[in-house]
């Protein structure tokens, strides 16, 4: 079974791209959705996060905004957060792989926003980065409710720069030209990975066509 890591900075279109893989019949593990589940009332992360960061839970669930305020810009706090969350997500991923194997899937996608930042690319057969021009990225993100330029800049400061992600990726999916061109890139990527098998490496099909500034 081929494991493809899917990543990209905020506002690049990664969630939409992940949906395209699902539409093509590829099992997708959504790390953000898994985190949301363990933060819900009764979730596995609620008690340990309250112990690590007193006051970040409300009505039996993790208050994500309160938690964000506690860890943003604090490397030590982020390390404590990751020490709680990552082992819990590891168990969830094992269950995902078990389901995919039972379904005889030949390819799975792990949608992980901070894949490179956490060193997770080492566990993948290949990595695809979703990218778009920076002006489109900012326009998309700043259209979200409650988002400000300052908050966006703080988020981007925690993420590896897009140019570096593209340089390190095996595939780059450009969402800057609309849905159908992106879908064509996804389909070409799937075909290329299946042709190459689990030892898949850099392909010319979906490499970054140019270096954006």
The last residue of one of the domains, among 74, 104, 134, is 104
Distance from chain centroid for Cα 210: 23
Burial class (CB in 10 A: 0-12, 13-18, 19+), 108: buried
Q: Tell me the backbone φ, ψ of residue 200, rounded to 5 degrees.
A: -50, 135
Range of the domain at 172: 1-27+107-213
* 147 CB-near residues (< 8 Å, 6+ apart): 141
Question: What is the reported pLDDT for 118?
Answer: 85
CATH number at residue 176: 3.40.50.300
Give alpha helix (H) positions in the chain: 14-23, 31-39, 46-52, 64-71, 75-102, 134-142, 149-158, 162-168, 179-196
Specify the 3-state DSSP secondary structure of 13. Answer: coil
Judge contact between 127 and 169, C-beta under 8 A: yes
Shared domain for 201 and 137, answered yes or no, is: yes
Question: What is the reported pLDDT for 198?
Answer: 65
Structure token pair of residue 159 = 């993420």
Shared domain for 141 and 156, answered yes or no, is: yes
Shared domain for 11 and 55, answered yes or no, is: no
Nearest to 117 by CA among 71, 168, 70: 168
pTM of the model: 0.82
How many domains, in total, are found in the chain? 2
* 123 CB-near residues (< 8 Å, 6+ apart): 3, 5
Question: What is the reported pLDDT for 211?
Answer: 33
Question: What is the reported pLDDT for 158?
Answer: 83
Using alpha carbons only, what angle is made at residue 130 by residues 128 and 136, rounded to the nearest 5 degrees? 170
Nearest to 122 by CA among 131, 110, 133, 134: 110
**Which sign does the torsion angle of CA 124, 2, 204, 130 carry?**
negative
Q: Which residues pair with 107 in a beta bridge?
A: 2
Shared domain for 127 and 160, answered yes or no, is: yes
Shared domain for 182 and 207, answered yes or no, is: yes
**For the chain (length 213 residues), average pLDDT per consecutive 10?**
95 96 97 93 95 95 92 88 90 92 96 91 95 95 92 88 96 96 97 81 40 32
Shared domain for 154 and 176, answered yes or no, is: yes
Question: What is the reported pLDDT for 209?
Answer: 35
CB atoms within 10 A of CB 16: 13
Question: What is the reported pLDDT for 91?
Answer: 86
Shared domain for 69 and 39, answered yes or no, is: yes
């Amino acid at each position: 079974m081929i494991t493809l890591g899917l990543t990209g900075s905020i506002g690049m279109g990664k969630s939409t791209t992940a949906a395209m893989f699902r539409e093509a019949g590829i099992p997708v593990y959504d790390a953000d959705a898994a985190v949301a589940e363990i933060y819900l009332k009764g979730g596995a992360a609620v008690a340990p996060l309250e112990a690590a960061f007193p006051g970040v839970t409300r009505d039996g669930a993790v208050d994500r905004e309160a938690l964000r305020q506690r860890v943003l810009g604090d490397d030590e706090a982020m390390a404590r957060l990751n020490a709680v969350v990552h082992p819990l997500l590891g168990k969830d991923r094992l269950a995902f792989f078990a389901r995919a194997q039972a379904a005889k899937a030949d390819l799975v996608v792990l949608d992980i926003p901070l894949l490179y930042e956490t060193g997770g690319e080492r566990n993948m057969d290949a990595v695809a980065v979703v990218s778009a021009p920076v002006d489109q990225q900012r326009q998309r993100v700043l259209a979200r409710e409650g988002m400000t330029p300052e908050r966006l800049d703080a988020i981007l400061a925690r993420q590896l720069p897009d140019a570096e992600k593209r340089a390190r990726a095996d595939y780059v999916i450009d969402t800057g030209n609309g849905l159908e061109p992106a879908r064509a890139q996804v389909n070409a990527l799937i075909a290329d990975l299946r042709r190459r098998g689990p030892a898949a490496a850099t392909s010319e099909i979906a490499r970054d066509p140019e270096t954006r500034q």
